[in-house]
Chain A
Amino acid sequence: MPVQYYIFLSIALFCIGVMGVLMRRNAIIIFMCIELMLNAVNLLMVAFSKMWADAGRVDAGSAQLFVFFIMVVAAAEVAVGLAIITMVYRNTHSVDINILNRLKN
């Protein structure tokens, strides 16, 4: 099972996330695409962890802990981000990101 397969899968998932951020205007969908990109990176990190574990490195578990910390930061980010989106929705009755360029008034 070559590591390249996992690299290409992660690249594909990451690029789908990038496409979603560029194509959609719904703030929540954009947020979900960012989660998708984070998960593509996590998948790649776990694949490299397995690669180094196969090579006999004892500290290969560090990569899995990095994934763990990314999950922690993602959870904190979602809590704050959804609070912001909810507040924007309460003030503008829309989640269209084009509304946000009028936020300064």
Chain B
Amino acid sequence: MGMSIQQIIFMVLSVIALVSALGVVLSKNPVTSVLCLIVTFFTIAGHYIMMNAQFLAVVHIIVYAGAIMVLFLYVMMLMNMNADLEPQKRNWLKYAGAISGGALLVVLVAALRDASMPALSPQSTDIGLIKNLGQTLFKQYVVPFEVSSILFLSAMVGAVVIGKKD
């Protein structure tokens, strides 16, 4: 087996990511689903580091594992959810969903199996460092950056207005 260290790390991270992603879908207990999703996010952050996107890896962990999943867990504990209260679909609907997703998987893999793509070189690039990304962000993408701040403000106001007791 002539596998490089990169390929071994890729395989390990991918297997953990896929298993924990399946855990999100298949687990009966919603809190277990959240914990599986956090594991998936950490493995995706590992992939980002392997592809020299260090800034994105850090932001990914802070935003997803640190903020979004805590919000999910908080809402779940607020609703006091557990496996007993979990709404169940009828079995044939579950099989239909699994078969549809599997069919999508087969179609996409069959369509992209013979695509010719270059291989990623093992050399590191400095494109994902915060210095270069910041230059690009504040030179080329200033307007989307400002628009996203307005989006955040309106999302915050919207969340407060929707969640308000009326």
Q: Which A residues have a C-beta under 8 Å from some C-beta of B?
A: 1-9, 11-26, 28-29, 31-33, 35-36, 39, 42-43, 46-47, 49-51, 53-55, 59-62, 64-65, 67-69, 71-80, 82-87, 89, 94-98
Contacts and interface: CB of A to CB of B under 8 A. Distances in A.
B162 A20 contact: no
Given A50-B125, A64-B56, A72 B151 contact: yes
Nearest to B25: A20
B21 A36 contact: yes
7 contacts: A6-B120, A19-B97, A22-B101, A65-B136, A71-B60, A83-B162, A84-B162
A1 B98 contact: no
A74 B37 CA distance: 15
Determine chain B's interface SS by DSSP, over half rule.
helix
Interface of B: 4, 6-7, 10, 14, 17-18, 21-22, 24-25, 30, 33-34, 37, 40-41, 44, 47-48, 51-53, 55-56, 59-60, 63-64, 67-68, 71-72, 75-76, 78-79, 81, 86-89, 93-94, 96-98, 100-102, 104-105, 108-109, 112-113, 115, 117-123, 125, 127-128, 132-133, 136-137, 140-141, 144, 148, 151-152, 155-156, 158-160, 162-163
Contacts of A33: 24-25
